[in-house]
């Protein structure tokens, strides 16, 4: 090879086995600098950052759960009370209200035993028998109101079934006869309610246990107590037991003497008869009344009774008999 060709060969660049030219390594470019977020993308970045933070509600819930776990752990660490030793006396139970002897006898008489003894005791308590401040609600007054209406309902049902051919007027007269105070007082005497009534000292001394108005009121209050304690069926059974005979055989005629005298006077063009008290005798707890009945151009007639109503009936009957009018006499109490 000539010198010229050798010089050309030496000056030509060398090539590696992969075909790249050998020579100095190429210069590396620096990485591009991070660009600051544009103003339009800043709110989105802030929202993403806020989303990464825990919500305050979750933090509060975690705190409450931790406090509950601590409380449960503290309760579990408390010593458990040991069971009572064998043979130890049990804890005392609240004492049940006991029946007194008078109530026990009354329950046997009426054929009903109270579940709530306090109802029976209230039904038998006169306002004078209350201790401390006298609140009428603690006496028989409210039960009397209820019993009066229960009695009327039960008697109406009894009459409706017993007298299918009676008209409204006859049923009303029979009802009035069976629910009047005198009838209730008569039943109270049969039950000997006077012995079971709780009265104040002054009422006892003045004969309150025998007073018809008190006996009638207590009879109605007892019906109300039975109704509340045992329901309608118990009250109806009690009433039918002590009023059925009275319903079949009235104590007084359905048209009493006063009504008959008034009708007789009206039929003759006379005014309504007038009644006046003539005298009142006897002890305070059991008085006797004398009453006179008067009509124009007729001689007055008098009657005697243990109440003004009874004396008025007797006076009217006396005038009718004198005028020749027959008066039916009912079965006495």
The predicted structure's pLDDT at residue 286: 83
Tens digits of residue pLDDT in 188-234:
999 999 999 998 888 888 888 899 999 999 999 999 999 999 999 99
What does the mean pLDDT of the chain come to? 78
Using CA atoms, how far apart are residues 140 and 120, in angstroms rounded to an integer?
9
The predicted structure's pLDDT at residue 57: 47
Q: Considering 144, 186, 217, 220, which one is annotated as catalytic?
A: 220
Q: How far is CA 304 from CA 213, 242, 250, 281, 310, in A?
A: 19, 28, 21, 10, 7
Please say if the pLDDT value at position 331 is more than 50: no
**Residue 277 neighbours by CB under 8 Å, 6+ apart:** 289, 290, 291, 308, 311
Helical axes 212-248 vs 168-179, angle rounded to 10°: 140
The predicted structure's pLDDT at residue 206: 85
Q: Which of 1-15, 120-134, 166-180, 227-241 has the highest mean pLDDT?
A: 227-241
Alpha carbon 108 to its chain's center: 27
Tens digits of residue pLDDT in 79-109:
444 444 444 555 554 445 566 788 999 999 9
Please say if the pLDDT value at position 119 is more than 90: yes
Q: Which of 272, 273, 257, 270 is nearest to 321 (CA)?
A: 257
The predicted structure's pLDDT at residue 191: 94
Helical axes 212-248 vs 181-191, angle rounded to 10°: 90
Using CA atoms, how far apart are residues 243 and 223, in angstroms rounded to an integer?
12
The predicted structure's pLDDT at residue 15: 47
Query: Residues of the chain with pLDDT > 90: what percent?
Result: 43
Q: Which of 52-66, 140-154, 164-178 has the highest mean pLDDT?
A: 140-154
Structure-model confidence comparison of residues 6 and 115, the more confident one:
115
CATH T-level assignment (fold) for domain 257-322: Double Stranded RNA Binding Domain (3.30.160)
Side by side, the strands of the sheet bearing 301-305 are 274-281, 288-294, 301-305
Q: Considering 121, 144, 148, 256, which one is annotated as catalytic?
A: 148
Using CA atoms, how far apart are residues 175 and 157, in angstroms rounded to an integer?
10
Confirm whether 16 is a catalytic residue.
Answer: no
Q: Which of 223, 220, 234 is nearest to 181 (CA)?
A: 220
The predicted structure's pLDDT at residue 173: 85
What CATH number was assigned to the domain covering residues 107-248? 1.10.1520.10
Range(s) within the chain of domains with CATH label 3.30.160.20: 257-322
Please say if the pLDDT value at position 6 is more than 90: no
Confirm whether 229 is a catalytic residue.
Answer: no
What average pLDDT does range 314-333 have in this prediction? Answer: 76
What backbone torsions phi and psi does residue 241 show, to the nearest 5 degrees?
Answer: -65, -35
The predicted structure's pLDDT at residue 280: 93
* Residue 313: pLDDT band with limits 50, 70, 90: very high
The predicted structure's pLDDT at residue 235: 97
Answer whether 124's CB lies under 8 Å from 142's CB.
no
Least confident among 22-26, 177-181, 275-279:
22-26
What is this structure's pTM? 0.53
Range(s) within the chain of domains with CATH label 1.10.1520.10: 107-248
* Residue 332: pLDDT band with limits 50, 70, 90: very low
């Amino acid at each position: 090879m000539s010198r010229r060709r050798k010089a050309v060969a030496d000056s030509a660049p060398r090539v590696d086995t992969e075909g790249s030219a050998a020579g100095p390594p190429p210069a590396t470019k620096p990485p591009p600098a991070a660009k600051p977020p544009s103003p339009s993308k800043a709110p989105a970045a802030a929202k993403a950052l806020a989303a990464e933070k825990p919500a305050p509600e979750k933090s509060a819930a975690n705190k409450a759960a931790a406090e509950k776990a601590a409380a449960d752990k503290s309760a579990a660490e408390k010593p458990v009370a040991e069971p009572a030793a064998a043979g130890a006396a049990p804890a005392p139970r609240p004492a049940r209200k006991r029946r007194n002897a008078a109530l026990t006898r009354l329950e046997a008489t009426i054929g009903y035993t109270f579940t709530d003894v306090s109802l029976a005791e209230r039904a038998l308590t006169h306002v004078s028998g209350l201790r401390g401040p006298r609140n009428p609600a603690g006496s028989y007054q409210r039960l009397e109101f209820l019993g009066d209406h229960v009695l009327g309902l039960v008697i109406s049902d009894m009459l409706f079934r017993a007298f299918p051919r009676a008209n409204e007027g006859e049923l009303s007269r029979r009802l009035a006869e069976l629910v009047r105070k005198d009838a209730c007082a008569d039943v109270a005497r049969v039950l000997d309610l006077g012995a079971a009534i709780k009265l104040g000292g002054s009422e006892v001394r003045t004969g309150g246990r025998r007073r018809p108005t008190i006996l009638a009121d207590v009879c109605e209050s007892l019906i109300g107590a039975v109704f509340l304690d045992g329901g309608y069926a118990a009250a109806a059974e009690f009433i039918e037991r002590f009023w059925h005979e009275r319903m079949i055989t009235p104590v007084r005629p359905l048209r009493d003497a006063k009504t008959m005298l008034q009708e007789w006077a009206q039929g003759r063009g006379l005014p309504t008869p007038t009644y006046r008290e003539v005298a009142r005798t006897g002890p305070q707890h059991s008085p006797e009344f004398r009453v006179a009945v008067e009509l124009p151009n007729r001689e007055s007639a008098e009657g005697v009774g243990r109440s003004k109503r009874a004396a008025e009936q007797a006076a009217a009957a006396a005038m009718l008999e004198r005028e020749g009018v027959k008066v039916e006499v009912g079965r006495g109490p």
